[in-house]
A and B are shown apart, each in its own frame.
Chain A
């Protein structure tokens, strides 16, 4: 009897300790987020000023200068990537959701998931061979294309889930009213799923905005303004990389400021993603 009582106590102890340990794990895992954000905030704000936002980089070692061209360049190339990936990604997602039972669709779905895991640097090398070598120049176009290749599978998979979440009663109602299938998809299903699709697109944009590896040898970087598609273009991530490696304190400071801007954009995109999914729940449930 006593033995079993001790055993009982022992089991309760183990239970309590193990459950507490999972909480400890969660705290340890969450800690880096707050630590890194705090460092970014403190170091970034200290180095962020109007000059940084509005002027071009100065010569190495010289005080002052900014990253206006990199900020614009990042938005430029991500916008280009969005233009290329949005129709293809949404189309592929609709295909998977609507005709997803075939063997070919299974393959496509599998490819999308595998593509999501392909290292972005490998995508960079491939696009380098595709565009940079024949064009004989690093270019904004190559950068945008590389980023779009990262976004397409992400958009496709979220679109699939969101289109699938649209209740079939809505399609039946539309079809029953005599609308064609294409019309139903376009005006009813995609409209109902738009909040979710926006979520996927925002998350893909956030990812693309922070990617440096595929831009290292596609867009390269540029110390000056450029708006031409066929010339190298500055962007925030590779600029942070270059500046962090440099021996100049001024550039280190600017790298922090650039990282702060980068993280702010990424966070805003993530918040938009969250908000638009919440709308979907209101609309459908």
Chain B
């Protein structure tokens, strides 16, 4: 296809038209869309500024201690974010451990294995997973998943392996475990969709060469397709991680909201996003509010870095398709 040449030619026409300063409407149009685009940059700066502004009180009061203290005592106005960082880390990483193999398997199935007529429907159903609102996951978690976990998973676990710190009991139901499972389900569609795109972007010649050498389909997928797509897949995983870190409603509803640091997956926990959701409207003192905002600031910075990294990796692979 000679798409690039056509595009270049058209752009030249456009440039002559709009850059030639002949029509005020062209210039106005250009300025207007430029202004709209700049809103995106301003939005990001605005988020950073507001969060920083609102958390200065807490930053000045606690300094670095805020990030290493495990004390969360609104009555005595002592605030430390460690329990929330712990909860966020544990739930998001454990959710990845569950979600990554399932997502990759599904992406491979859609892109390589499934018969052609099945690909669209499977993609559609997986995308529906992303369309279900977080609060609906939470509702389902509270009334279906949590009781199920408590009765049929956690009680037997405590009885058999209660001596291992990971499964130390009592079985409460609302727990890190429930949050991890819900999170895993929620990030699967994102990892699957991006991985599928990246796998589809692998040139057909690569596969043909592999088949030509006598490799089976699986060998081709594993040694050629996945190897070729690995940077993009890493990007997809990091993208999923960013989602898991920031996910709020569903986690808040099933994690139990207790600011403790415990190794046990059966115990209630807390995450950075859920403490904001849960306590922001109850926070009465300026310092309390400021501390919650500072947690929001950290959440913002983490997701910013994680997303930037993921985007760079995914772009590197799928460049030439839609991105320059």
Which residues from chain A sit less than 8 Å from chain B, CB to CB? 11-12, 14-15, 18-19, 21-26, 28-30, 32-33, 36, 39-40, 43, 87-92, 94-96, 98-101, 105-123, 125-126, 128-130, 149, 152-153, 156, 161, 164, 168-169, 171-172, 175, 180-183, 185-186, 206, 209-213, 216-217, 220, 237-238, 240-241, 244-245, 252, 255-256, 259, 262-263, 266-267, 270, 274
Contacts of A182 in B (CB 8 A): 23, 25-26, 28-29
Which of A87, A107, A122, A175 has the most chain B CB atoms inside 10 A of its CB? A122
Interface residues of B (CB under 8 A from A): 6-7, 9-10, 13-14, 17-18, 23, 25-26, 28-30, 32-41, 43-44, 46-47, 50-51, 53-54, 101-106, 108-110, 112-114, 122, 124-126, 128-129, 131-140, 142-144, 185, 188, 192, 216-219, 221-222, 239, 242-243, 245-249, 252-253, 273, 276-277, 280-281, 292-293, 296, 299-300, 303-304, 306-308, 310-311, 322-324
Looking at A105, A106, A125, the one whose CB has the most chain B CB atoms below 10 A away is A125
Return chain B residues, CB-CB under 8 Å to A206: 131
Distance of A115 Cα from B39 Cα, bound (Å) = 11
Inter-chain CA distance A40–B128, complex, in Å, is 14
Q: In the complex the two chains form, is B136's CB within 8 Å of A117's CB? A: no
Q: A101-B324, A240-B139, A267-B131 are in contact. Are A121 and B276 (CB under 8 A)?
A: yes
Q: Which of B128, B219, B248 contacts A120 (CB 8 A)?
A: B248
Interface on chain B toward A: helix, strand, loop, or mixed SS? helix
Do A152 and B39 have beta carbons less than 8 Å apart? yes
C-alpha gap A111/B103 in the complex (Å): 26
Residues of B within 8 A of A169 (CB): 6
Chain A residues near B243: list those with CB within 8 A: 117
Asked if residues B17 and A98 are in contact (CB atoms below 8 Å), the reply is: no
Which B residues touch A121, using CB under 8 A? 246, 248, 273, 276-277, 296, 299
- When the two chains form their complex, are residues A244 and B253 in contact, meaning their CB atoms are under 8 A apart? yes
Contact A216-B25, Cβ < 8 Å, known A87-B36, A117-B243: no
- CB atoms of A29 and B249 under 8 A apart: no
The dominant DSSP class at the A interface is helix
Say yes or no: A168-B102 contact (C-beta < 8 A), given A107-B41, A117-B239: no
Complex contact B135–A212 (CB within 8 A): yes
**Would you give the shortest CB distance from B219 to chain A, in whole angstroms?**
7
Interface-central residue, B50, B102, B142, B243, by most chain A CB under 10 Å: B50
Beyond A115-B43, A117-B303, A212-B133, list 8 extra A-B contacts (CB 8 Å): A95-B37, A98-B14, A99-B30, A113-B311, A121-B246, A168-B9, A175-B14, A270-B131
Bound together, the chains give a CA A216 to CA B283 distance in angstroms of 13
CA distance A238 to B138 in the complex (A): 12
Q: Which residues of chain A come closer than 8 Å to B29, judged between CB atoms? A: 181-182, 185-186
Q: Which listed residue (A87, A114, A123, A263) contacts B132, Cβ 8 A?
A: A263
Minimum Cβ distance to chain B for residue A69 (Å): 17
- A130 contacts which of B50, B131, B292 (Cβ < 8 Å)? B50
Residues in B whose Cβ lies below 8 Å from that of A117: 239, 242-243, 246, 303-304, 306-307, 310
The complex places the Cα of A128 from the Cα of B14 at a distance, in Å, of 43
Cα–Cα, bound, A225→B57 (Å): 37
Nearest B residue to A28, CB-CB? B102
23 contacts between A and B (CB under 8 A): A18-B221, A25-B106, A26-B122, A33-B132, A39-B144, A40-B136, A92-B37, A114-B44, A122-B47, A122-B299, A129-B50, A129-B54, A149-B43, A182-B29, A183-B25, A210-B132, A212-B133, A213-B248, A213-B273, A237-B249, A241-B138, A244-B135, A266-B132
Contacts of A267 in B (CB 8 A): 128, 131
Shortest distance from the beta carbon of A96 to any chain B beta carbon, whole Å: 7
Task: For A213, list chain B residues within 8 Å (CB).
Answer: 134, 248-249, 273, 277
Determine the distance from Cα of A29 to Cα of B17 in the docked complex, in whole angstroms: 51
- In the complex, the chain A residue whose C-beta lies closest to that of B126 is A29
- Contact (Cβ within 8 A) B102 A25: yes
| Cβ–Cβ < 8 Å partners of A240 in chain B | 135-136, 138-139
| Bound complex: CA A119 to CA B247 (Å) | 7
Task: Give A186 to B140 CA distance when docked, in angstroms.
Answer: 45
Query: Distance (Å) between the CB of B188 and the closest chain A CB?
Result: 6
CB distance from B33 to the nearest CB of A (A): 4
Residues B125 and A108 in contact, CB atoms below 8 Å apart: no
Q: Choose one: A22, A171, A212; the contact of B10 (CB below 8 Å).
A: A171
CA distance A154 to B219 in the complex (A): 38
Knowing A32-B129, A256-B139 are in contact, say whether A12-B36 is a contact too (CB < 8 A).
no
CB distance from B300 to the nearest CB of A (A): 5
Question: Assuming A92-B39, A109-B323, A164-B322, is B106 touching A29 (CB within 8 A)?
Answer: yes
A23: which B residues are within 8 A, CB to CB? 109, 113-114
Please name all residues of chain B whose beta carbon is closer than 8 Å to the beta carbon of A101 when the two chains form the complex: 324
Query: Among the interface residues A212, A216, A220, which one has the most CB atoms of the partner chain B within 10 A?
Result: A212
A175:B13 contact, CB within 8 angstroms: yes
Contacts of B192 in A (CB 8 A): 29
B102 / chain A contacts, CB cutoff of 8 Å? 25, 28-29
> What 6 pairs across the A-B complex have the smallest Cβ distances?
A210-B133, A119-B246, A25-B105, A91-B36, A117-B307, A182-B29
